[in-house]
């Protein structure tokens, strides 16, 4: 029995944020990703953009079980070995309502990013940014409800900073980053 079919209760809307999705790979396109989640018995499955953002409804409240079930199905059916992070509509709504970026705007020169962390609530980064990143990355904070690190990336410098490597030293590889605009689009689709 699947997790989705194994629980009776009220329908909860979720976003599945997938790691390592390349839209040029035929197995990673929206219709195939949606098909996997629909096959698991989830309700009203949709995709947002082409970078591995899926929305769905189910009655399950055990998020780690959902993440595991989705990832196992993606690996078995499509050969996708990345990672799956799940957030509820309520968690994303609270994050957006908190307006963590204030009046900053996302644009070509300045990316507003949200890095979601998979396991538990590990808290804010435990070490400071490396010297080479301090002039181009501004970590604004950590949102415990969404389990996410919030940062502003200065893209006006000659090269794009690799703050993902630093984040992986803090939280491991089970993280995924979305722009603030993408987070808002995912929430709107939920």
Q: What's the pTM? A: 0.90
Nearest to 143 by CA among 180, 106, 109, 181: 180
Q: What is the pLDDT of residue 113?
A: 95
Would the CA dihedral through 104, 105, 110, 111 be positive or negative? Answer: positive
Q: How many CA atoms lie within 13 A of 130 on its CB side?
A: 12
Question: Within 10 A of 148 (CB to CB), how many other CB atoms are there?
Answer: 26
Query: Cα separation of 141 and 96, whole Å?
Result: 14
Q: What is the pLDDT of residue 124?
A: 86
Digit-by-digit pLDDT tens for the chain (190 residues) are 345 444 557 999 999 999 988 777 777 888 899 999 999 999 999 999 877 899 999 999 999 999 999 999 999 999 988 889 999 999 999 999 999 999 999 988 899 999 999 877 788 888 888 888 988 999 999 999 999 999 999 888 766 668 888 999 889 999 999 999 999 999 999 9
Q: What is the pLDDT of residue 1?
A: 39
């Amino acid at each position: 029995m699947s997790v989705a079919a194994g629980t009776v209760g009220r329908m909860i809307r979720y976003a599945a944020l997938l790691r390592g999705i390349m839209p040029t790979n035929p197995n990673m396109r929206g219709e195939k990703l949606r098909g996997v989640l629909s096959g698991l018995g989830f309700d009203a499955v949709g995709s947002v953009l082409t970078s591995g953002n899926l929305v769905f409804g189910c009655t399950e409240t055990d998020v780690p079980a959902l993440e595991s079930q989705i990832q196992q199905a993606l690996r078995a059916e499509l050969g996708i070995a990345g990672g799956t992070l799940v957030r509820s509509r309520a968690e994303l709504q609270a994050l957006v309502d908190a307006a963590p970026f204030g009046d900053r705007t996302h644009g070509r020169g300045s990316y507003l990013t949200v890095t979601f962390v998979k396991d538990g609530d590990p808290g804010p980064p435990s070490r400071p940014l490396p010297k080479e990143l301090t002039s181009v990355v501004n970590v604004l904070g950590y949102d415990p409800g969404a389990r996410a690190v919030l940062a502003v990336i200065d893209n006006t410098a000659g090269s794009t900073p690799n703050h993902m490597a630093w984040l992986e030293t803090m939280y491991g590889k089970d993280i995924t980053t979305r722009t603030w605009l993408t987070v808002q689009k995912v929430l709107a689709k939920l």
